[in-house]
Amino acid sequence: MSADWIKQFPGLSRLEAAVRDVLTTKSTVVAVPEGTVIFGPGKSPQNLLLLLQGRVRVQQVSEAGREIVLYRVEAGESCVLTTACLLAHEDYSAEGIAETNVRAVAIPRAVFDDLVSQSVTFRNFIFTAYSKRITDLFQVIEDIAFQRIDIRLAQKLVDLERGTGQIKATHQQMAAELGTAREVISRQLGEFQRRGWIRQSRGTIDLVDLAGLERLAALGAE
């Protein structure tokens, strides 16, 4: 198996040669189709995943069925919060879903433990990833608790637009992004449309005045 993929992870570039060999020979590259539930309540992951291609959405689902997106794992990042669960034999209440087709390196539990033990570089890689995720969670908490919904929605629209100027999502899905209700999204998007910032059609939102959205989004970053 080619070890080229290590280049995609800057934190691993200085990995000691011996450790690099362990990592490449004892891990496998897996393909995960879009929509797959990678981990979830009652389904703890068996491997640490390093994403080569695609995107994983991690979200919390309440007992009443309401959802909120916690963060996304992009190519070049790792599903590292799951390793705590992986090593502690505990279930999370969060779930991870492949938002696109995903290619990833799967590192088995025992190999992960071995790498953490042997390589200071790998340890730094892991703990840096932890730090980023925890910071993300703190931001989510701060936003839910203290930020106005129109600002959060504008930020999310700007965030989810990936150069296309368009977002493929229903109002229900946008509500799940922010942990709010569909009706709230409908009202806010209606207001954005009246202001000429977006155009809507069933299942898609066109961002026609990104600058307008960004001005509103920026109010939350003062």
Range 159-188, binding DNA (CB under 7 A):
170-172, 179-184, 186-187
Range 39-78, binding a copy of itself (CB under 8 A):
60, 62-64, 66, 68, 70
Q: Which of 159, 183 has the CB closer to DNA? A: 183
Q: Which of 61, 106 has the CB closer to a copy of itself? A: 61
Distance between CA atoms of 169 and 177, rounded to whole angstroms?
10
Q: Is 92 within 8 Å of 49 (Cβ atoms)?
A: no
The least distance separating a copy of itself from the CB of residue 7, rounded to whole angstroms, comes to 21
3-state SS, one letter per residue, for 81-119: HHHHHHHHCCCCCEEEEECCCEEEEEEEHHHHHHHHHHC
> Phi and psi for 39 in degrees, rounded to 5?
-150, 160
Longest CA pairwise span in the chain (Å): 61
Rama region for 156: left / alpha / beta (φ>0; ψ in -120 to 50; rest): alpha
Q: What x/- string results for residues 111 through 150 when contact with DNA is judged by CB under 7 A?
A: -----------------------------------x-xxx
Q: Does position 13 bind a copy of itself by CB under 8 A?
A: no
Beta bridge partners of 32: 102
Q: Is 115 within 8 Å of 107 (Cβ atoms)?
A: yes
> Phi and psi for 70 in degrees, rounded to 5?
-90, -50
DSSP state of 27: -
Could you tell which of a copy of itself, DNA, none binds residue 37, using a CB distance below 5 to 8 A set by kind?
none
Q: What x/- string results for residues 115 through 154 when contact with a copy of itself is judged by CB under 8 A?
A: -xxx-x--xx--xx-xxx-xx-xxxxxx-xxx--------
Q: Which of 4, 63 has the CB closer to a copy of itself? A: 63
The least distance separating DNA from the CB of residue 49, rounded to whole angstroms, comes to 28
Coil, strand or helix at 64: coil
Q: Does position 219 bind a copy of itself by CB under 8 A?
A: no
Coil, strand or helix at 35: coil
Q: What x/- string results for residues 176 through 205 when contact with a copy of itself is judged by CB under 8 A?
A: ---x--------------------------
Residues that bind a copy of itself (CB under 8 A): 60, 62-64, 66, 68, 70, 81, 83-85, 87-88, 90, 92-94, 113, 116-118, 120, 123-124, 127-128, 130-132, 134-135, 137-142, 144-146, 179, 222
